[in-house]
Amino acid sequence: MSRIRILSEALASQVAAGEVVERPAAVVRELVDNSLDAGATHVEVHVQRGGTALIRVSDNGSGMDREDAFMSLERHATSKIRTKEDLTCISTLGFRGEALPSIASVSRFRLATRETHALAGAEVEVNGGKLSAVRDYGGAPGTVIEARSLFYNIPARRKFLRSEQTEFAHVEQQFRLHAISNSQTAFTLVRDGNVVFHLPATHDLLARIEGISGKEVARRLIKVPETILHGIRVTGYICTAGISRPNKQLQFTFLNNRSVDSAAVSFGLREGYHTALMKGQYPITFLFLEMPPEAFDINVHPAKKEVRFHNSNAVREAVIEAVKNALSGHSSISSGHVPFSSSAYQATEHTPALIPETEQTSLRRDWTALTTWQSGPVETEIPPEQNVVPAAVAEIIQPISVALPAQQSESVLTPLPAAPATIPKFRILGVLNKLYVLMESDDGLVMMDQHAAHERVLFEQMRRAMEHDGVPSQRLLLPLTLQVSPRDYDLLSRNLETLAKLGIEAEPFGNNAFKVDAMPTFLKTDDPLDLLRDVIDELASASSKTSSLRLGEDMIATTVCRHAVKANDYLRVPELQKLLDDLYACEMPYCCPHGRPTLIQISNAELDKKFGRRAP
């Protein structure tokens, strides 16, 4: 039965035209989209020379009859939408009817397809857009599409292809996106004859994530409890508090199983993690949003990656709620962080170690591919040595997760302080470098960053104070005069109440000046104006939508860090014990207000392994 028809001219022009095929990864994206739309349960992707020589996608989906096989190569030929109304509620991955003709016009193209019960299928060959051969096809039901020598007839475009390595990294990342969002479909990726991924179909998303990203990423993830808000369903896996990345490359987000990049979702993630994430860092997420197709418009970008939500606030709130639900149910001691030095990796000292030494080699490749993707063309390949975790560090630090009983909190902005039900017993052994407190636990060695821990404790104490009576303040002997620019004058004038909650008492003093009468007691600085300048910066960078409570929190986080306990303050055992107890009384004990870990653990098992007492 023939299912494909030509779109009306009017409808066709409503589908914004654009470049569909910019590189091999885009061809893979379009072909695999088609396979999934055709209901395939197994999709195989073969590439040669990074996809520049060959891309072949085979599936066991519905297949096409002879007429449709021809029709599919016509511009704007699609079986997926018919009317203008359909465009407002797209549920398939494809809908433009542009991919196959576009790909066929820039490659040596072969389409072989057979419907399940058809006696014979059809095979069509097209070279640079011109039909060159037609045959019956007797292969397995489903569809095989090959694009060889991409851009062979458009030298100008071929020149823009990067190295095979880079093109393959993009293909591989595209493959990951599909595989993560379709775990119930089996996927295979073959590169130059070698199997890179062979992923069986599974109902277990975490198993698929592990298959794609490795054990070390998977074990740092927590499940997002199903969250439904404003008609939006959010599920998936996200990293625990205290783990972050310097870029967005491991922030996978999907909308109705389509990979999307959305400011509303990113914003929701950031808000949801709140102080568990330091500025400029991004969480690792595999987040799935589902909502009715009428609630968004995907038809804004030819690559269908961008999305416009009709109510982006609702999306943001649903994401915040989901992240909050996930984080409030789990806490864990961090495994510590390893300073990677690769420029492509761009890790900062705050990046936790995710890769134990034994799995470095295989994972390093994965991570490099993951982290270089989407950051624009990658010109240089990174010599492996640069990616290696410093041996001494990698040898020692192993990720250990300690799942603690669930804590409950009311809302992301006003969490109820709740201590973990069980406080682990630690015996303090000593302090290293006047900074790291070494402790013995039942499971091994635990280290606490006393500065980060103190920041967390102070942060939560002050936030509580701010929510109630305000941060205690101290009258200045002599009031200070603060001269500011007209813009800053405006900013401060509008936020005097928030400042008062923070223990800063200031009032307008005419002529773009303020009189400052009192400052918070915690302040340890010689120059209070220093703090005020920080505060103005913070006000200026906060968006107008930021709530005063959030603004206060941000200011506490910034100022506490700068003006609280110094790393090399000498603390005695009772003080250390108090710090530890206070830390465990915190709502989020495992990271400082900027998202850095406060505690790191090395298990006895790992120590035994390192000392050769047990076979690894």
- Residue 363 Cβ vs ligand ADP, minimum distance, rounded to whole Å: 32
Smallest distance from the beta carbon of 96 to Mg ion, in angstroms? 7
Residues 25-64 that bind Mg ion (CB under 5 A): 34
Cβ closest to ligand ADP, residue 62 vs residue 461: 62
Amino acid code (one letter) for 268: G
Q: Distances from the Cα of 373 to the Cαs of 129, 173, 377, in angstroms?
A: 30, 7, 8
Binding at 95: pick from Mg ion, ligand ADP, none (beta carbon under 5-8 Å per type)? ligand ADP
Residue 64 near which of ligand ADP, Mg ion, none (CB within 5-8 Å, type-dependent)? ligand ADP
Q: Which is nearer to ligand ADP, 72 or 275 (CB)?
A: 72
The tokens of 340 are what?
């990677």
Question: Of residues 4, 124, 320, 397, which one binds ligand ADP by CB under 6 A?
Answer: 4
Measured CA to CA, the distance from residue 377 to residue 382 in angstroms comes to 14
Shortest spacing between CB 442 and ligand ADP, in angstroms: 55
The DSSP annotation for 177-210 comes to: HHHHHTTTSEEEEEETTEEEEEE---S-HHHHHH
Name the residue number minimizing CB distance to Mg ion: 94
Check if the beta carbon of residue 89 is closer than 8 Å to that of residue 32: no
Q: How far is the CB of 29 from Mg ion (least distance, A)?
A: 9
Point out the residue whose Cβ comes nearest to ligand ADP: 94
List binders of ligand ADP among 53-72 (CB under 6 A): 59, 61-64, 72
Nearer to Mg ion, 32 or 583 (CB): 32
Q: What are φ and ψ of residue 104, in 5° steps?
A: -65, -25
**Residue 62 touches which of ligand ADP, Mg ion, none (CB < 5 to 8 A by kind)?**
ligand ADP
Q: Tell me the HSE value of 13 on the side-chain side, using a 13 A CA sphere.
A: 2
189 binds, among Mg ion, ligand ADP, none (CB under 5 to 8 A by kind): none
Strands 77-78 and 308-309: unpaired
| φ, ψ for residue 307, nearest 5 deg | -140, 145
Q: Which amino acid is at 335?
A: S
How many residues bind Mg ion (CB under 5 A)? The answer is: 3
Supply 87's token pair: 């465009």
CB closer to Mg ion, 36 vs 320? 36
Give the DSSP H/E element, type plus range, for residue 489: helix 486-494
From 33-41, 250-258, 459-467, 505-513, span contacting ligand ADP (CB under 6 A):
33-41
For the CB of residue 95, give the shortest distance to Mg ion in the complex, in Å.
8
Nearer to ligand ADP, 4 or 363 (CB): 4
For ligand ADP, give the closer residue by CB, 70 or 197.
70
d(CA 535, CA 229): 34
325 binds, among ligand ADP, Mg ion, none (CB under 5 to 8 A by kind): none
Q: Least distance (Å) from ligand ADP to the CB of residue 58? A: 9
In this structure, what DSSP letter does residue 337 have? B
The pair of three-digit structure tokens given for residue 82, joined into one six-digit string: 């018919």
- Judged by beta carbon distances under 5 to 8 A according to partner kind, the member of Mg ion, ligand ADP, none in contact with residue 230 is none
**Least distance from ligand ADP to the Cβ atom of residue 293, Å:** 15
- Alpha-carbon distance 603 to 442, whole Å? 9
Which is nearer to ligand ADP, 59 or 553 (by Cβ)?
A: 59
Phi, psi (rounded to 5 degrees) for 22: -105, -20
Of 92-121, binders to Mg ion (CB under 5 A) are 94, 99
DSSP 39-69: T-SEEEEEEEGGGTSEEEEEE-S----HHHH
* Residue 460 binds which of ligand ADP, Mg ion, none (CB < 5-8 A, kind-dependent): none
* Residue whose CB is less far from ligand ADP, 136 or 581: 136
Applying CB under 5 A, which part among 86-94, 213-221, 232-240, 307-315 lies near Mg ion? 86-94
Please, which residue, 99 or 150, has the CB nearer to Mg ion? 99
CB under 5 to 8 A by kind: which of Mg ion, ligand ADP, none does 104 bind?
none
Q: Determine phi and psi for 456, rounding to 5 degrees.
A: -60, -45
The answer for residues whose C-beta is within 8 angstroms of residue 49's C-beta and 6 or more apart is 164, 192
> In terms of C-beta density within 10 A (0-12 exposed, 13-18 middle, 19 or more buried), how is residue 414 classed?
exposed
At which residue do the structure tokens 């694009």 appear? 147
Residues between 124 and 153 that touch ligand ADP (CB under 6 A): 143
In the list ligand ADP, Mg ion, none, the entry touching 356 (Cβ below 5 to 8 angstroms by class) is: none
- Spell out, one character per residue from 70 to 99, where the chain touches ligand ADP: x when CB under 6 A holds, - when not: --x----xxxx-------------xxxxxx
Residues 550-609 within binding reach of ligand ADP (CB under 6 A): none
Q: Which does 4 bind (CB under 5 to 8 A by kind): ligand ADP, Mg ion, none?
A: ligand ADP
Q: Which of 100, 278, 315, 588 binds ligand ADP (CB under 6 A)?
A: 100
Residue type, 82: R
Residue 35's binding partner, choosing from ligand ADP, Mg ion, none, with beta-carbon cut-off 5 to 8 A by kind?
ligand ADP
> How, if at all, do strands 285-290 and 251-255 pair?
parallel
User: What one-character DSSP code corresponds to residue 381?
Assistant: P
C-beta closer to Mg ion: residue 25 or 551:
25
Rounded CA separation 584/588 (Å): 8
Nearer to ligand ADP, 78 or 559 (CB): 78
Q: Which of 7, 27, 30, 205 binds ligand ADP (CB under 6 A)?
A: 30
147 is a site residue for Mg ion (CB under 5 A) = no
What's the rounded Cα separation, in Å, for the pair 286 and 239? 9
- Give me 547's structure tokens: 């709530």
The span from the CA of 287 to the CA of 298, in Å, is 18
d(CA 494, CA 542): 13
CA pair distance 358, 380, nearest whole angstrom: 26
Closest CB 149 distance from ligand ADP, rounded Å: 20
Residues 6+ apart with CB under 8 A from 175: 28, 32, 45, 187, 189, 197
- Rounded to whole angstroms, what are the CA distances from 538 to 120, 271, 550, 565? 69, 16, 11, 21
Q: How far apart are CB 94 and Mg ion at their closest, in Å?
A: 3
Indicate which single residue of 25, 27, 28, 35 sits in contact with ligand ADP (rule: CB under 6 A).
Answer: 35
What are the residues binding Mg ion (CB under 5 A)? 34, 94, 99
What are the residues binding ligand ADP (CB under 6 A)? 4, 30, 34-35, 38, 59, 61-64, 72, 77-80, 94-100, 143
